[in-house]
Structure 1
Amino acid sequence: MNDLSNMLETLSLEFSGNLIDPDDNRFNGARAVWNAMIDRRPAVIAQCKSASDVQAAVKLAVAQDLPISIKGGGHNVAGHAVCDGGVMIDLSGMRGVEVDPTARLAKVQGGALWRDVDTATQKHGLATPGGLISDTGVAGLTLSGGIGWLRAKHGLSIDNLVAADVVTADGSLVRASTDENPDLLWALRGGGGNFGVVVNFEFALHPMGPEVMFTAPIYLVEDGPEPIRAWRDFFAQHGDKVGSLCEFSTAGGEDFPEEHWGKRVFTLACIYNGDAAEGEALTQPLRELGELSTDFSGRMNYCDVQQLFDTLVPAGDFRCYWKARYLSDLSDEMIDLAISNALAAPSDNSISSLWNFGGATAKVAAGATAFGDRSFGWMYSLDGIWSDPADDAANIAWSRDGWSNSERFGHHGRAYLNFAGHGEDNAELTQTSFGPNYKRLVEIKTKFDPQNRFRFNQNIAPEA
């Protein structure tokens, strides 16, 4: 550790950010992330402000033979941003967004949040597919696919990633594009944080907003599954225009009738990927499928919609364990299982969701991106959210049991790797999820990170 201390002292002379060790009074705050379950202690936290800072931090890790974790937004449920005993590269000081409205491109630094991107792009009436929570980091969400409201018309976040600047495991800064290191760009489109530290992303932008139609009727679970089945059938015709999810939660607060407080409900939430007036007319039938508990539908500002779900899980307030799998189809039996699981949730804060796919997402060939096969029609997510550590076992078991019980409806065992629990079944789940693309990913991993420095992720191990 003395050698590390000496290196940190030398590095600090040219490092523009902050270098924080466990003796620093800023250490506990700097290592905290969104999921309150995560409690790891890096050997050093490098809060970077530039690409050169990132290069210096990577070279420090190599010199000390330490692994590297990367913090973008710190929102990953498994806490991959934080490592024990390694170098934690913190990009939260690198949140710049530059928009070229003529070329319809956004250059986004590696520590940016989706709120930063939406704010900058909406000034020009443009957007790129992001997440559903605005304080999610761009990097983590994008690199494992990136599922958001605009997927019906514009695909996943990775389908709009046109280039990236990456610091690789030897400290080099390289460009990944269709012209330079195209294999690396291919791997970044769904392969996770396995290949280096992305210091800049470049995204294609599309006209969107500022007003969009957000449809969100809420029904009581006790009234039966028919609205969900009708919602499912709606997407046989309109899956190329509407990004949606059916979210199970617990009613409470002034937005609900008091007699419904504490009852399980489901929201048929969706955004029409186009003109707000057209979307209001098209999605009106989803608001007429039975007696409503309440209705949050309306024309809204796009940035406001992107922040609607932020309050569900404020950073650092809850303990979280999430699992998700892709579904080949959404049968009546799977809907019944989702209802049963929602009713069994041990925490009122927990949510579970059925997500529609198709449209632009499904049109991308399996080999075109590392993400792989797009022929799944749906996704099922179980998001355990609770406060008391004494309830850890019950809530983790609920998420894992629901995930396991839905396996028979799954799509070749594939899972959304941003919602993969805490990584306890990492190797098998990762290989299965990438399918035939896994072999090529191993080759690219071996090329850019042969010593597996970047292993705090859904890890793709290099060749021995």
Structure 2
Amino acid sequence: MASLKIEGTVLTPASGDAYAAALERNSALSQLPAGLVVQPASYADVAAALAFARAQAPPLEVAVKCGGTHSATWASSAGGLVLDLAPLNRVALADDRKSISVQGGARWGDVYEVTARERVDVAGSPLWFIGVGGFSTGGGYGPLMGEHGLAIDNLLEATVVLADGRIVKTSKDEEPDLFWAIRGGGGQFGVVVELVFKVHPYAGPFGAGVLAFPGTEIEKVVHAIKTWKDSMSPAEKLTISFSRPAPHFKPSVTLLPMVLHDTDGERSAKVLAPFRTGALKPVFEKVASVPDLNTASHGADASLKSAPRRLIIRGTITSDFTPALVLAVWQKWVAFTETSEDVRGSAVMFDVTHPGKLTAVGAADTALPLRVPHYWMAIQGRSTTDEGVAAASAWTKDLAEFVRQKNTELSGTDLGWFINMCQGDERPEDVFGANLPRLRKLKAKYDPHKVFSKGVVIEPLAE
């Protein structure tokens, strides 16, 4: 410890409450007892921490925490060194208002506070508490994706601390191989301590809220969504959730709309009309105009606050919003959540956002290979007790594999896995596809000794 000299803070189990607070994660299952937690005050602190970890015999495992929201233990370490980037959370809008600089420890709420105040927008996360760094290096699907693409498609440059301690800037013109790798390759190539994103004109006000339907209406709702999707525009999206809300805990399907440029509510009324017909009416509805993404990103705060914190998330990609597949998932979800009160908080989410901008980028142009039209879905296994965790974990894995296989059968294309919803036991070939060989060569170039070995691990491959 004496050789680790930094401006920031070093926490150990002897640090008491501060150490315990630094271990907290969005999922209680993601928390591991680190040997030490480094909270850097500068980029040089990050380099010093990496040098310290490498110098130990054996070298310490390194984990990097941005927002700490991943449900696996990618941002935690049992006995190793955790780089908690939370103090590095500065956000600065450029004077020309065309770009915004975000430090790697910021959360999207930090970004949205600035963009809301300045009446501009950036392609970020739908939730305020998600870390900018982890979200972006995994791809970055968000509410502005229909109009502006993924977060990585809006990344202009980044600052990265490499495994050997070098602090480098990377862009399409500077260290272009590294820039390609961090756009979809996950946290396998260095610590991304600063990102510069393209800024877009204000996209609000936003029509947002909830339309809830009883489970008995599931077939009508799913077919209405399918019809709606076929004529949707890039300025609107739907998130579909299967859940059992209190106090009766009956199966329900909830639509969470997001409508851009909704100045007077008329766009929302028109977009949501198919879900307010005589044959299909919500039993609960609350849709309103919100002024900015900062407000919209807090929309799920109340429901998430009461959700069980023993959480495992897996997810996958579907080629289309196919009723047969969605209804099969519904049946499997209903059956599982009826097995025990411990796991009835488990949920499923499908996101339907216009994929046009996503497909405008080539599959080999960034490390993220998923550039055909597709939609993501997330499976949340939640348990109120330790005893229910194993069942929730097995269910999330089985259901994700079912969806992938069923989608392959229906579409004729295996889309593999989406890295930000992996747990780490997935094959890299199924995550990175045809881009894996290049990623392996770049791993050998930038991190040959696998200092960064959390998540979906890429094995170095020398030239």
Common fold by TM > 0.5? yes
Aligned with residue 85 of structure 1, among 79, 89, 107: 79
Residue 361 of structure 1, CA deviation: 1.6
Superposed CA deviations along residues 4-61 of structure 1, whole A, max 9, x for unmatched, are x3323xx1xxx11111223332332222222101342222211111111111111111
Q: Which residue of 2 aligns with 1:152?
A: 146
Does structure 2 conserve the Cα–Cα contact (< 8 Å) formed by 1:322 and 1:384? yes
Closer/same/farther in 2, CA of residues 152 and 450 from structure 1, 3 Å limit: same
Aligned to 1:119: 113
The whole-number CA distance in structure 2 between the counterparts of 1:463 and 1:154 is 34
1:54 and 2:56 are equivalent in the alignment: no
Cα displacement (A) at 1:354: 1.4
Q: Which residue of 2 aligns with 1:462?
A: 460
Specify the alignment match of 2:37 in structure 1. Answer: 45
Can you list the C-alpha shifts for 1:140-199, whole angstroms capped at 9, x where unaligned? 111101111111111111111111000000001000111210111111111100111111
Distance (Å, rounded) in 2 between the aligned partners of 1:133 and 1:296: 19
The 3 A distance-change label for structure 1 pair 101 and 77 is farther
Alignment of 1:90-239 (within 5 A): 90-100=84-94, 102-214=96-208, 216-239=210-233
Pick which of 436-445 and 239-248 moved more.
239-248
**Separation in 2, partners of 1:265, 1:101:** 47
Q: Which residue of 1 aligns with 2:340?
A: none
**Which residue of the other structure, out of 333, 348, 357, is the alignment partner of 2:344?**
348
Kindly provide the amino acid, as one letter, of the partner of residue 289 in structure 2: R
- Match in the other structure for 2:26: 34
Rate the CA distance shift 1:286–1:385 in 2: closer, same or farther, 3 A. farther
Deviation at 1:209, TM superposition (A): 4.4
Structure 2, unaligned runs of 5 or more: 338-342
Q: Which residue of 1 aligns with 2:400?
A: 403
Q: What is the rounded CA distance, in whole Å, between the counterparts of 1:72 and 1:204 in structure 2?
A: 21
SS class of match (2:430): helix
The Cα of 1:124 is off from its aligned counterpart by 1.5
Residue 274 of structure 1, CA deviation:
2.9
Task: Give the counterpart of 1:297 among 279, 287, 292.
Answer: 287
Instruction: Decide which of 249, 252, 255 is 1:265's aligned counterpart.
Output: 252
Which whole-Å CA distance do the structure 1 matches of 2:233 and 2:457 have between them? 32
Residue 86 of structure 2: SS of its match in structure 1? coil
Task: State how far apart, in whole Å, the 1-side matches of 2:201 and 2:262 are.
Answer: 10
Partner of 2:429: 431
Structure 2: how far apart are the matches of 1:296 and 1:341?
28
**TM-aligned CA deviation for residue 316 of structure 1:** 10
SS of residue paired to 2:290: strand
Query: What is the rounded CA distance, in whole Å, between the counterparts of 1:314 and 1:7 in structure 2?
Result: 41
1:291 Cα offset (Å): 2.5
Contact 1:35 1:75 in 2 (8 A): yes
- Structure 2 equivalent of residue 449 of structure 1: 447
Change (3 A) 1:311 1:79: farther
Tell me the amino acid that sits aligned with residue 145 of structure 2.
R
- SS of 1:231's equivalent in the other structure is helix
Deviation of 1:334 (Å)? 0.5
- Percent identical: 27
Separation in structure 1 between the aligned mates of residue 149 and residue 407 of structure 2, nearest angstrom: 23
Provide the C-alpha distance between the structure 1 equivalents of 2:186 and 2:218, rounded to a whole number of angstroms. Answer: 39
Instruction: Find out whether 1:391 has 2:388 as its counterpart.
Output: yes
Following TM superposition, by how much is the alpha carbon of 1:332 offset from its aligned partner in structure 2, in angstroms? 2.3
Structure 1 residue 322 corresponds to structure 2 residue 313? yes
Query: Are the equivalent residues in 2 in contact too, given 1:352–1:381 (CA < 8 A)?
Result: yes
Q: 1:240 and 1:139 mapped to 2: Cα distance?
A: 25
SS at match of 1:313: helix
Give the whole-Å Cα distance in 2 for the aligned partners of 1:72 and 1:170. Answer: 20
CA gap 1:239/1:367 in 2 versus in 1, 3 angstroms: farther
- Which TM-score applies when normalising by structure 2? 0.91
Cα RMSD for the two superposed structures: 2.0
- In the TM superposition, what is the alpha-carbon distance from 1:100 to its structure 2 partner? 1.9
